[in-house]
Amino acid sequence: MTYASPSDDWVAALRERSPSAETAVTLDALDPERMTARGRIDALVVLEQHMAWLQAKQVEVLAAIAAHTETPEAVIVDAGGSLDEVFAASWDGAVEEVACALRLANQTAAQRLRTATLLAGRHQATARLLGEGQISYLQAMAVAEQLEVLDDEVAGQVEAVLVSKMPVLAVGQTRAALRREIHRADPEGAESRHRVRVKERRVLHHPQDDGMALFGAVLPAQQAALMEQAVDACAVAYERDGRTLEQKRADALFDLVVNQPGASAVGEARAGRSSVVVQVTVPFDILLGAEDGPAELKGYGPITAGQARELAFAPGTVWRRLLTQPETGLLVKTDPTTYRPTAETARQVIARDQYCAFPSCRMPAHRCDLDHVRPFDHRHPDRGGQTTSENLQPLCRRHHRLKTHHPGWRVSRDPHTGVATWTAPTGHTYTNAPPVYRE
């Protein structure tokens, strides 16, 4: 017979208490080596409860940050007149600093702030459950996000139904329960929102480890079901060659998208492949096989030397030479001084920085504006910032507007290291460095 140790009894009692500052100070005494298997599970739950309690505290702070952020509505731009109305109306000045302070993507920071505002405002019952450690932050976030489409009264009704259920539900079950209740409470709205979401259909591409990537699409569920059937039909038609079914399904999706339909085999289809552009930056000695090391695939990041060579030596590949500094490994290129960068200069800056130069942003550089770090002087070009790669940086439209119009944000760039230093309205500084191609 196995008896519970004193540590087991203590942590079991702690599990029954709501987390607080008083209970939090005792957590350092948790010693899993003195517990049985049962006690360790209780300890795990206790820690999860206290993480929820801390996240509830963070929600309060984030909501306060969002509520006390100043919007630069009265700023006067250089060209005369007031700040772009669209920019001012949609601007949330807290996003950038929260993103930099917590090292988050802008979208994630904006999501955190919006969730906190909703929880602190109209979902206080859910926030209370979070602070008591009865639900997880992911559940609280699901309530805030999914009920945002409803007006306050209907959202409150749905939340009231879920409050008693959530403490015993998993995150996925909570999301499913929310969807069901939303459809019950607002069936016409659900149909209308679906029509809007159909217009927002898009392709997704996310890098993964070991030279892999996740590629897919957000589209109507019925279309996804038909696509899955088409992929399965193509996959089962392949010969038995040692590939698993999942490998064949992945290969089938690639063939259906990239290769011309109607080809009897992958090899035959390659000849009819439509023209595509894939940008890879790789040191020349690695490209030729003299050394091994990473290359950079545009929109993804580091890939292996073998992957780079496969792309580089594929039929129809076009090579462009770019130069790097031996001392720093940074990409460099000298171009004429003009206000609008030449195509070569633009390619240089885009390949050098790869992403928006704001610290928390991952917008691909080819989708950004090319901004003069030191402003260009149109009347006296010799006195202003020059249109050289050293004085150019890619900025997404949002952060280009931030740099140009927001009085509290400033940026400087070290021409030798390429490090951009941003100063926030609060006085905090954040840095962003371009990738080093040879380390």
Residue 205 lies in a domain: no
In eight-state DSSP terms, residue 434 is P
Query: Are residues 54 and 26 both part of a single domain?
Result: yes
Cβ atoms of 42 and 11 within 8 Å: the answer is yes
Query: Are residues 139 and 20 both part of a single domain?
Result: yes
Query: Are residues 126 and 170 both part of a single domain?
Result: yes
Q: What contacts 317, CB < 8 A, 6 or more positions away?
A: 311
Query: Are residues 170 and 263 both part of a single domain?
Result: no
Residue 437 lies in a domain: no
3-state secondary structure 92-131: CCHHHHHHHHHCCCHHHHHHHHHHHHHHHHCCHHHHHHHH
Query: Are residues 288 and 258 both part of a single domain?
Result: no
Instruction: Check pLDDT > 70 for residue 13.
Output: yes
Instruction: Check pLDDT > 70 for residue 270.
Output: no
- Which tens digits make up the pLDDT trace of 58-99? 999 999 999 987 655 544 444 444 555 545 555 667 899 999
Domain count, the chain: 4
Under the banding of pLDDT at 50, 70 and 90, the label for residue 421 is very high
Residue 103 lies in a domain: yes
Query: Are residues 423 and 342 both part of a single domain?
Result: yes
Residue 407 lies in a domain: yes
Residue 233 lies in a domain: yes
Going by their DSSP bridges, the two strands 295-297 and 280-281 should be labelled as: antiparallel
Which among 182, 122, 190 has a CA at the least distance from the CA of 158? 182
Could you give phi then psi for residue 312, rounded to 5 degrees?
-65, -35
Token code pair at residue 199:
């217009």
Q: What is the dihedral of CA 93, 97, 98, 104, to 10 degrees?
A: 120
Write down the mean pLDDT value for the chain: 81
Residue 1 lies in a domain: no
Distance CA 128, CA 424 (A): 33
Residue 206 lies in a domain: no
Query: Are residues 101 and 131 both part of a single domain?
Result: yes
Query: Are residues 297 and 406 both part of a single domain?
Result: no
Query: Are residues 136 and 258 both part of a single domain?
Result: no
Query: Are residues 97 and 24 both part of a single domain?
Result: yes
Cβ atoms of 72 and 407 within 8 Å: the answer is yes
Residue 400 lies in a domain: yes
Range of the domain at 45: 6-199
Percent of the chain's residues with pLDDT above 90: 38
Query: Are residues 24 and 90 both part of a single domain?
Result: yes
Count H helices and E strands in the chain, helices first: 18, 12
